[in-house]
Structure 1
Amino acid sequence: MITLFGSGQSRSFRCLWALEEAGLDYQYQAVAIGSDQENGTRTEEYLKMNSQGKVPTFVHDDLVLTESASIVNYIGSLAPEHNFIPSELVARAQYDQIMFFVMADMEQPLWTNGKHRFAIPQEHRVPNIIPTTHWEFAKSLKALEKLKGEQTFICGEQFTFADIMVAQTLIWAERFEYTIPENWVTYLRQMQERPAYQKAMEAIQ
């Protein structure tokens, strides 16, 4: 049995979208981030699964994973027939490069923004850092542009789970009102038209 604990369009949405793309049976449990009340991420029961009290938390039988990119890759491995994760050596290396780029570079300005606007205690926030995060994100998109080139999808002419990682991060950027070039907006809208994305959206309503 697969159970995904998540909240809205946080990082857990990547995992939810991947589950829908893979066509796997799962249960989705919405949780309240930061709450120590029932279904909260700070309850004793939840902290036993995820010691940081964050989302996502992914449970498959005895396996517990709490990092979104790792979960997305694991889901892809459960459905190898779809080729969501390339198997050829060079293609897999290029796929991994995008996955690591999203986590280490592309999403970091957005998370820095979130931390210093609402996520961390007031006394630790540095509001003056926000403009720098916009500059960093624009720089990151330029680098991603070179990696993608003229390809339809991030890793070529076939959809992979790297597209989920990039698209969900662009959604995050839209919500935070970052400037996104038109070509990336077009790419994002194409990803949002996928039936699995639509089903994942229905699951969080």
Structure 2
Amino acid sequence: MYKVYGSVTSRAFRVLWMLEEIGEPYDYIKAGPRSEAVTALNPSGKIPVLTDGNVVITDSTAILTYLADKHRKLTFPAGTIERAHQDALTHAILDELDAVLWTAARHGFVLPEEHRVPDVKPSLKWEFARNLDRLADRMAGPFLQGEQMTIADIIATHCLNWAIGAKFPVENEKMNAYAKAMRSRDAFKRVRGLDDA
């Protein structure tokens, strides 16, 4: 059985949501970054960590891709044009949304105080809004690529939720409606309630 190490308030949410969507059983081990349980599996101490038997996989996107390919769900087949578009979309979201939010987090509380540049946040908010508008223009249907949900939707929705928590305005109406629909999914709600269980 899969084991997921991390927390619902971290990128581990993506992995937990994926597993709920595809109906695969897992154990959720609530663990913070650099905790003993995590560093025993990932020397960097970063979460999430997925174990599949004796195999350890790190990085949320790598984990999502592994699960999607292994179970042939929430992905287009490797070697297809649709998969190339999916991969391009996934990398765009990581570069243009996730990286912007992570930069804000680093300069807000992650880096040692003497290395933080708080004045960068307004620029990051502007960049995030611009990039979100571009993503909305690429959206092809109820999901980012049209009628089929993929791992890109999980990452994008997670970034939209992260933006709210980081006080990044999400003013694009199309993306707000998209995020609301994604949050209404049963699998999403089940993950939200994990820490209450």
Q: CA deviation at 1:11?
A: 0.7
Q: Is the Cα contact below 8 Å between 2:31 and 2:38 reproduced in 1?
A: no
Q: 1:107 aligns with which of 98, 121, 126?
A: 98
- Matched with 2:10 is 10
- Where in structure 1 are there 5+ consecutive unaligned residues? 34-40
Runs of 4 or more, structure 1, over 3 Å off, are none
Note the residue ranges of structure 2 that are not aligned, 5 or more in a row: none
- Asked if 1:139 is matched to 2:130, the reply is yes
Q: Where do 1:108-187 residues align within 5 Å?
A: 108-149=99-140, 151-180=141-170, 181-187=172-178
CA distance in 2, matches of 1:7, 1:138: 27
Is 1:98 equivalent to 2:89 in the alignment? yes
Matched residue SS, 1:49? coil
Matches of 1:163 and 1:85, distance apart in 2: 10
Q: Do residues 191 (structure 1) and 182 (structure 2) align?
A: yes
Following TM superposition, by how much is the alpha carbon of 1:77 offset from its aligned partner in structure 2, in angstroms?
Answer: 2.1
Deviations 1:26-72 (A, max 9, x none): 10000133xxxxxxx242x5323111111101111122111101111
Which letter maps to 1:161?
A: I
State which of 44, 54, 71 in structure 2 corresponds to 1:79. 71
Amino acid at match of 2:85: Q
Amino acid at match of 1:66: T
The alignment status of 1:46 with 2:38, answered yes or no, reads yes
User: Secondary structure of 1:9's match?
Assistant: coil
- Select 1:56's aligned residue among 48, 52, 60: 48
Shift, 1:105, TM fit: 1.8
In 1, Cα distance between equivalents of 2:127 and 2:43: 30
- Counterpart of 1:78, as a letter, is K
CA shift, 1:9, in A, is 2.3
Q: Using the aligned pairs only, state the percent identity.
A: 31
Paired AA for residue 115 in structure 2: H
Distance 1:168 1:17 in 2: 10
1:162-182 CA distances to partner (integer Å, 9 max, x unpaired)?
111110110001111212122
- In structure 2, what residue type is equivalent to 1:155? Q
Report the number of matched residues. Answer: 194
| 1:85 aligned partner, one-letter code | T
How many angstroms does 1:75 deviate by? Answer: 1.5
- Three-state SS of the structure 2 residue aligned to 1:132 is helix
Instruction: Quote how far apart the aligned CAs of 1:146 are.
Output: 2.5
Q: State TM-score, norm by structure 1.
A: 0.89
State the partner residue of 1:30. Answer: 30
Q: What TM-score, normalized by structure 2, do the two folds share?
A: 0.93
Task: Return the alpha-carbon distance in structure 1 between the equivalents of residues 60 and 190 of structure 2.
Answer: 19
SS in 1 for 2:40: helix
